[in-house]
Structure formats: C-alpha cells, structure tokens
A and B are shown apart, each in its own frame.
Chain A
Amino acid sequence: MLSAWKGGTPAHKRYLVRTMAFMVPYVAICIAMMTTDAFDEVMDKPAGWVLAAAVAAPVIGQIWATLSLMRESDEFVRAVTAKQFILAAGGAMAVAVFWGFGESFAGAQHLPAWLIYPLFWAAYGVVSPFIRASN
C-alpha cells in the first residue's frame, strides 16, 4: 500500500484515503462481532437491522470510491479497474452461487451471505496483478 501511495496518481491517493475511511469501520465492526459479545443484545431486535445497515454502508461507500477513482483517472486506469472489478465480482458471484446450490442440494454447511464481500476483495487481490492490459 505504501508503494501504491508513493507511485500513485492523485486519484489513486484519494482512492486509498477513501478506502481506508470505509474499510476501517467495516473491519472494526466485523472483528467486534466475531470476537466479542458486544452485539449480542441487539440480536432479534430492530437494532439488529441498524447494525446490518452500519456494516452495509461502508460497502456502498467503497463502490462510490471505486467509481470516483475511475471518474478521476485516465482511460487506461479506468479500463483496467473495470476489468479487475468485473473479474473479481464474477468470481465471487460464481463461488457464492456454487456454494448456495451446494447448501440446497449437496448438504454443504451454511455460510453467512455477508462473506461475499471479503470473498470479493480476496478475488480482487488475486486477479489484480494479472490484469495489466486494457485490450
């Protein structure tokens, strides 16, 4: 991330700042949910929906940050970012569909739907180094 900051364009730097702004609260809520009992009292209550919205909001923010990067960048960066995003989203959706049908018809263990987001970013990290051309 440091090299991306040093060698990045102003648009990339803004993207990194925006990403951190959205990712830090998202990760903090997820870690608190997984490692503490902090949110147990909102379970099955309307406040549970507030918690769900609080985790979903940074996801929407991140999409905005990505679209802003594309808008503020040149045509090459725009095209490569779009390819990376499409491949990562497609890969994550394919895995989710595969596992969902596995749950319904093959007795696979149930996994929470929110895992699609970290799965998407894992896929983004895997495909990005290989997408270096727009054509």
Chain B
Amino acid sequence: MKNRLKLLRVERGWTQEQLGQALGVSRQAVIALETERHDPSLDLAYRIAATFGRPVEDIFENPHA
C-alpha cells in the first residue's frame, strides 16, 4: 500500500528503530511498511496515524478511492 511513512519519519528525524519503538513493532516491520511489503492492519494504521498526529488518509493512499 502506497504511503508517506518514510517521508514523515525523516521529517521528524526519527530512525526506523525509534519509529518501531513508538509503534510497538520491530524495525523489520517499519522497513516493510516503508517499502510497501506490508499492508498494515487497521489497528496499526490508526496507531501510525496517532503517532504522527495525522488522519490515516494523509499517510496511506486509499487504493479503492
């Protein structure tokens, strides 16, 4: 799923490890999300949105829209 996760993370100066800790997932999971090798669950997508203080739609492109 296309997303702006890497851009938002770099904007804040966070490492993948730091973002993983903030989200409660492994660095592997952050890498997979950024490289679109993992489509997050609804729960994780909302956690990401809350971490960045943005709506889910601002981070993930809706493939059905």
8 Å CB contact of B26 from A73, A79, A133, A135? A73
Chain A's interface: helix, strand, loop or mixed, by majority? loop
Within 8 A of A (CB), among B1-21: 1
Within 8 A of B (CB), among A62-93: 73-77, 79
Question: Could you say which residues of chain A place their CB within 8 Å of the CB of B1?
Answer: 135
Question: Could you say which residues of chain B place their CB within 8 Å of the CB of A134?
Answer: 32, 37-39
Residues of B within 8 Å of A, CB-based: how many?
15
Interface membership of chain B positions 14-58, coded 1 if the CB is closer than 8 angstroms to chain A and 0 otherwise: 000000000011101100110011111100100000000000000
From A9, A73, A75, A133, residue with most partner B Cβ within 10 Å: A75
Chain B's interface: helix, strand, loop or mixed, by majority? loop
Within 8 A of B (CB), among A110-135: 132-135
A128 to chain B, nearest CB (A): 13
Please measure, in the bound complex, the distance between the C-alpha atom of A77 and the C-alpha atom of B44, giving whole angstroms: 14
From A74, A133, A135, residue with most partner B Cβ within 10 Å: A74
B30 and chain A: residue at smallest CB distance: A76
Whether the Cβ atoms of B37 and A74 lie closer than 8 Å is no
B57 to chain A, nearest CB (A): 19
Please measure, in the bound complex, the distance between the C-alpha atom of A79 and the C-alpha atom of B39, giving whole angstroms: 11
Question: Could you say which residues of chain A place their CB within 8 Å of the CB of B36?
Answer: 135
Can you report 25 A-B residue pairs in the complex whose CB atoms are below 8 A from each other? A74-B24, A74-B25, A74-B26, A74-B29, A75-B29, A75-B40, A75-B41, A75-B44, A76-B25, A76-B26, A76-B28, A76-B29, A76-B32, A76-B33, A76-B38, A77-B26, A77-B28, A77-B29, A132-B32, A133-B37, A133-B38, A134-B32, A134-B38, A134-B39, A135-B38
